[in-house]
């Protein structure tokens, strides 16, 4: 395999992006996304802080999957690595949804908080304050994961193409056939390399025989 193919077989950029994405999603899952105030008319007003892992239960699992996928990057090649890139891209899109909704102010935080929190019967949520920073952090992490998925898919395609070319070049039979064709189609103004000449001899074609140069004309 060529040095360029070896580089593409080890997508360092994708691994770095996956590490950043996993760290970002995990950190975001530990931060407070929504602060909820509620009253039940019997006790003092209650204030609850809803972190990212509670607000979106898949946030931490996705972060762990992205972290585990770093090892998979080195274990998989070709089509399997491309498939891994697609899966990572899909997970990135899923992870971005709740953060995007919080950032643009969509949805009903009060209603969702009421479903997530264990409030007393008859309690009423008086306010639900959303925090944009952890939501933005999850979006940035999701963007890193998406970029990693795309990079993996592209590097896998390039590595497959390079391996195909390399295997063809390293195949002795293929080299001999190419050398034979080069001798038969060549001319004196374009001298052939020593390797081509030897390969042509291996193929049973004498580069010094003028008749061989006339076959391709």
Look at the chain and report how many structural domains it folds into: 2
Q: Please check whether residues 101 and 156 belong to one and the same domain.
A: yes
Q: What is the dihedral of CA 19, 21, 23, 25, to 10 degrees?
A: -160
8 Å CB contact between 60 and 53: yes
b/e map 113-145, b = 16+ CB within 10 Å? bbeebebeeebebeebebbeebbebbbbbbbbb
Q: How many CA atoms lie within 13 A of 44 on its CB side?
A: 2
Domain identity same for 61 and 163: yes
pLDDT category of residue 10 using cuts at 50, 70 and 90: low
pLDDT in tens, 94-139: 999 999 999 998 888 888 888 888 777 778 888 889 999 999 999 9
Q: Which position has the higher pLDDT, 8 or 170?
A: 170
Q: Which domain does 210 fall in, by range? A: 172-214
Same domain, 23 and 87: yes
Do 130 and 207 belong together in one domain?
no
Claim to verify: residue 108 and residue 55 sit in the same structural domain: yes
């Amino acid at each position: 395999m060529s040095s360029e193919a070896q580089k593409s077989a080890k997508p360092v950029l994708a691994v770095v992006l996956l590490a950043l994405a996993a760290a970002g999603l995990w950190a975001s899952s530990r931060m407070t996304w929504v602060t909820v105030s509620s009253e039940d008319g019997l006790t003092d007003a209650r204030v609850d802080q809803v972190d990212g892992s509670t607000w979106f239960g898949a946030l931490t699992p996705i972060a762990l999957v992205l972290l585990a996928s770093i090892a998979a990057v080195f274990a998989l090649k070709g089509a399997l690595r491309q498939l891994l890139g697609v899966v990572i891209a899909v997970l990135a899109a899923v992870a971005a949804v709740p953060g995007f909704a919080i950032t643009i102010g969509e949805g009903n935080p009060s209603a969702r908080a009421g479903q997530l929190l264990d409030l007393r019967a008859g309690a009423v949520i008086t306010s639900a304050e959303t925090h944009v920073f952890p939501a933005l952090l999850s979006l940035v992490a999701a963007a890193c994961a998406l970029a990693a998925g795309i990079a993996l898919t592209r590097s896998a395609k390039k590595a497959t193409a390079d391996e195909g070319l390399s295997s063809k070049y390293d195949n002795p039979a293929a080299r001999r056939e190419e050398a034979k064709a080069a001798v038969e189609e060549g001319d004196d103004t374009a001298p052939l390399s020593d390797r081509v000449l030897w390969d042509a001899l291996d193929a049973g074609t004498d580069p010094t025989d003028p008749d061989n140069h006339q076959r391709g004309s």
